[in-house]
Structure 1
Amino acid sequence: MKVIAVNNNKGGSLKTTTATNLAGVLAAEGERVLIIDADNQSNVTLSFGKNPDEFEVSLYDVLIKNLKPADAVVNVYENLDILPANDDLIGFDFEVIGKSKKYKAPFSIMKKTCSSLRKEYDYIFIDTPPSLSLMVGNVFAFADSVLIPFSPESYSMRSLVKVLGTIDDFKEQFNPQLRVLGVVGTMVNFQTILHQEVMQETRKYCTESQIHLFDSYIPRSIRFASSVAYEKVPATLAKKSTDIAKSYFELWKEIKENEQAR
């Protein structure tokens, strides 16, 4: 469980929020944590009040230009580093696909270039783009497990089924050790009938598919944005504690308990 990818191919499911806040939980507990930002939108960087355009090197330079990953890592909080992304990452898929002779194992680039980071950190989180792309394939090849944030809106179940199917297919071909850590409900409002019905349907599907659906969930709130906007850190690292931050501490506790029970 050392390298955890946070993935859903549907946008707006709180992937970045989940990756940064769980990283904040662990950093607060004294663990050495790295977040790899594998999304060219650079939301991880922005979550810590940093401007991605100011970084001279990024994940792209590590993957394509053979820069040592440690040379691109930036410290953003005590015990917490990031490997940032910027607009250069937009060109990753085209660069690799366009040079098939050079990149003979296109899904293994991140594993090859970033494996040295494993010994430097207790945990590594990877924030992924909302797509099933070459970049996501590289993340799946490098990761030990996948945590799936799931917002219970219309058509969300269809997206979840696709993600789980993709993980199964990818695992069989490229990373037999990869497994699904579990599904976590995000932006949940149990006062709406839609959310009640979708979460009930999701629990049934996860049970039948032997996928863990965490009892902990992340409620709908504007406080995530407020924390980033005013304190330049995720909610779990903000000075003022909130119910939102508490929900991520509870989620991590449940993740650990579930892992110990395996």
Structure 2
Amino acid sequence: MKPTIEITPLSKADIPGAVECIQLAFAEDPYFQWVFDTTRFDPGRNRASLTARCLWGMSCALFYVAKERQSSDDNDDQASVLGVSCWIPPQPTNQRRSWKTYFHDALLWLRQLRNNVLYLGRGGLRTRRYRLWKNHQREVQRELWTDPQGYYFCNLVAVRPDAQGRGIGRMLIDVVTQKADREGRRCYLESSREVPNVGIYQRMGFEMVRTMVCEEEGDECKLYCMIREPEIKGSVE
């Protein structure tokens, strides 16, 4: 039987494979290189942080994994995680955040505080740069997110380097953009690579709307902000 790729919601059993996938995919990423001091980077601390975020995402986000099954008899534990995507659901402007979201945000904060204690720090994260990026991100999203319905925000998409070129990234994008199309909602993402990512996302319907520049002490990181309009089936150009 030919191996098959399935896109499924993240489960607790998937988390170790998802974390490994993210670490491998972002090892050479420009944003990673900018926001972490690679001479002090602690993979174990980073695994703990990503695990905490996966647990948060299972309750508050649309978190998917791409898994390869070698045969129809394979169970979930035998399927390899080849890709991951995490989408923040839309937050309409007339709708308050739920208590569930506040609770899980607080739980994430506590888990990360525990990680700071256990690992004696943030594992090489440049906190000043991280906060600089978060501030820029808030400002840009405040300017660009003008739709009162809110946006599906692709917070993360990662594919293992040895599994790239098989259309897995597209599958992890399509699972939410198709949902957004049915609901008539826009999607948004930020890419840290102009080439080849921007061209790939453009072929999926995203358009460049802003280049976010984060700079500290002459060291610069660019993030390419893109929005996708919903596709209406049966529409005539």
TM score, norm. by length of structure 2? 0.30
The structure with more strand, counted as a fraction of residues:
2
TM score, norm. by length of structure 1? 0.28
The structure with more helix, counted as a fraction of residues:
1
